[in-house]
Each structure stands twice: as structure tokens, then as C-alpha cells.
Amino acid sequence: MENKPTILMKKYELGRMLGQGNFAKVYYARNMKTGQSAAIKVLNKEMIVRVGLNEQIKREISVMRLVKHPNIVQLYEVMASKTKIYFAMEYVKGGELFDKVSRGKLREDVARKYFQQLINAVDHCHNRGVYHLDLKPENLLLDENGDLKVTDFGLSALLESKKSDGLLHTTCGTPSYVAPEVIKKKGYDGARADIWSCGVILYVLLAGFLPFNDKNLMEMYRKITTADFKFPPWFRSDAKRLLYRILDPNPRTRINIAKIMQSTWFTKGYKEIETPQLPPLSPTGHDVPDVQAIFDSSSSDSEDSPTAVKPYCFNAFDLISLSSGFDLSSLFEKDNSERQQAMFTTRKPPSTVVSKLEEIAMIDGRFEVMKKSWAVRLERSKAGNRDQLTIDTEIFEVTSSFYIVEVKKIAGDTLEYRKFWDQCLKPCLNEIAWVWQGYEQQQ
């Protein structure tokens, strides 16, 4: 049984959905002319405007057009229809850097390589007047060669966003990685704030845990603003010296990127990256002549909507790709950023899978269950970041008596998800699972 392929804008053939958030869905796709793999991010225009995110989307488009670097996920093009906006992006295959760190600290030479690539990418952004403002391992992907790719510029700021005092004033970012001056809400330099986040990332790579962490958010903020952290015994003295200078709570005395790249710890095994020549910046700091046109577009949606009523039916290549002995994905794919996921096969009907997920929600007692055809969402939303968790489960039909079930964390704390996975989700799903694949194999 085969699905008729969905063709987007007469240019991309869409495959299965890779991920889903509150305002967007991401699909695997191939350029029909070149055969190049891509990740297509689909956004609903009406919803974006309704919740006031249109300026943020415009900014994200502007930023991704400005930055072009081997260690940054590339935006190929932006398309629009009457009701949708489509980002065609580089498809990175290796998953999130967080997946590696969640299993423990990295070897120093591996951590150094990732940090060098991160600093190169961030330096490129800053030279283009772009500040990421949400740097964390979950926003750092790895390609099939093990090289780092910075992604998710949704919270980033441009040079022109600074006010008359020369500072940014928007509070954003992830609490554990955010700079002290951002927390204080008194204005901050975007470049210095990014450098702080890079320092937290380096600490996590070398230690395997966060330098500033506490169940009480205010206590964690106190630790951040006073740089109250300790080094594990295995940290080398040169790494300590560098981190002390990066995790300086005073942004004025905090080390800059040029000096980071001159430090003895950083320069070991450093390979300079050649970046492509880009046109000079416009006087306003960026070049976005047609971003508004994306929202004004009124072309028809009749051929480009990727939504489907029937379940996605796996074909022969999908099935081959699930086998570790016959993994052909590297021939077609460059990127897979959704690694907080598991996949299993089952002979149980979809109704049994749905019932099992409802049972899991009842056992935990904190989840709301939302069902839509062949998909189930478990959503837990309470006060505090660690209590928020959203898990999506989608059922794919292979034959009338054989199904593949994919479970993904969509939102919430990753460590909290792993705890729930180990203690409840995985043991309960084992009762209906036949063979596990994907994330489970990586444990």
C-alpha cells in the first residue's frame, strides 16, 4: 500500500512528519529537481498573527538569510501560500548534541572540537550583527560527519534591535543557560550574553551536568548572577581558567570571542574554517526586502497543504531505513533533529495503542490526553518548567495487521522526559511492543 506523494509548490516532495510544535510542523522532503534532502518547516499564518508571532517569524527569516556558515543550519528558501509559510532548510541527520551529553561527560578532545565549532559559528553571527540568545545543547545539531550545526534562531536579535543605550532589553533564553545581565532585565549586550551561554555549554560538555542548577528557580538565578559554581576534579587547569573568564557575571570584564580563540585550551588541534564570502550588510544591518511579502502572499493552497486524513504508510525504503544493518538514510538525509524519540513495531491495532496511552496517562495522573485520527498527544502543564511535558505518539500503517509507532517529546524538560520514559512510558509500552528501534537503541 503506497501513499500518493504530496508535492509542495511544485518543487518539493514531502515525506513523513519529523516533528511538531505548537505553531509548526516539520517534514522530511526532497527537492524534485536536484534530489537534495531538506527539512520543511510549515507554519500557520493565521495562528502566528493571532498570537502575535509575526514579527518574530520575520526576524527569524531575516537572521537565517544573513548567516551562512558550515556550522549553522542553512536556510535554502522561504515560500508562502495563502495560509501557510514554508521554511526549506538543511536536513541535519545526527540529532541533538544534548543526546550525547545526557549520557555523561564527553572526552576533552571531543568537547573541544564542538566548542571550537560553536565559537566559530557564533563569531560569524556576531560579525553579521546577529545574536542567537538561546544557545543550548538542544539547539546544537550534529551532522553525519559529527560536525556541529547551530539551529533555532527564533529568539535571536539583530543589531538594529538595540535601543538608544546600545543594549538589548528583551528577556529570552533558557534559564539554565541565560546570562546574569539578561536575568536582571537592565539591558544587555547580545554578544556578551551569547558568550556566557557558550561557557555554560562548554561546562556541560566537560562535566556532564549544569554549572547552575536548582529546583528553586530563584535560587538558581542567585547562583547564576553570582557565578556560584564548582568544578569537578577531572577539569584541567587550562579549561578552568578559560571557564572562569567566560562565566564572569560582569559582562564588561567577561572575555570576548577573539580572546577565547587565543586561549591555550581552545587552540589545541584547532582547524580554521573557511567561510563563504557574503555581500556586505545594508546600512540598517540586514537585507530583507521581501519578508513582508511572505505574509501578504495570497497564492492557492490547493496543491501545497501537507496535511492528510489517512495515516502515512511506510514503503520499502522506510522499512529498510529502520534496520540497523541496512540503514540507507545517509544516502538521502542530512539532518534529524528529533532525537528525544522512540519507535517500535506492533501487531496490536491502533485502538489498543491508543487505549494503552490513555492508561499511561491515568497511571501518572497529571496528563491530559488529546486524540486525532492516528495520533495521540499527552500533555502535562503545571507551574514550573520541570512539570511541563508534551509527548506525541503517531501510528503508521505498514499492513492491515502490522504498525509502526513513534513516540516523541515535543516540549518540556528533557531530563524529566527521560525519567518518565524509564519509570512509566517504556515499561507500559513494552506490553504492546514487538521490536524497538531508534532512540531506544541509543541508550
Query: Which domains, ranges and CATH numbers included, belong to the chain?
Result: 6-92 (3.30.200.20), 97-267 (1.10.510.10), 340-442 (3.30.310.80)
User: In this predicted structure, what is the pLDDT of residue 306?
Assistant: 46
Provide the phi-psi class of 363: left if phi over 0, else alpha when psi is between -120 and 50, else beta: alpha
Query: Does the model's pTM come out above 0.75?
Result: no
41 is in an annotated binding site: yes
Half-sphere exposure of 99 (CA within 13 A, CB side): 22
CA distance 66 to 55: 17
User: How many residues are given for the chain?
Assistant: 443
- pLDDT of amino acid 37: 92
Spot the catalytic one: 99, 109, 123, 134.
Answer: 134
Any catalytic annotation for residue 99?
no
User: Which positions of the chain have pLDDT values less than 50?
Assistant: 1, 279-289, 301-311, 316-317, 320-339, 438-443
pLDDT tens per residue across span 250-299 = 999 999 999 999 999 999 998 877 665 554 444 333 444 456 666 665 55
Residues near 377 by beta carbon (within 8 Å), at least 6 away in sequence: 369, 370, 371, 390, 391, 392, 393, 410
Grid cell, residue 391, equals 509527548
pLDDT score for 191:
93
For residue range 151-201, what is the model confidence (pLDDT) as tens digits? 888 777 765 555 555 566 555 667 899 999 988 877 889 999 999 999 999
Torsion of CA 93, 96, 102, 108, to 10 degrees: 90
User: What local confidence, expressed as pLDDT, does residue 225 receive?
Assistant: 94
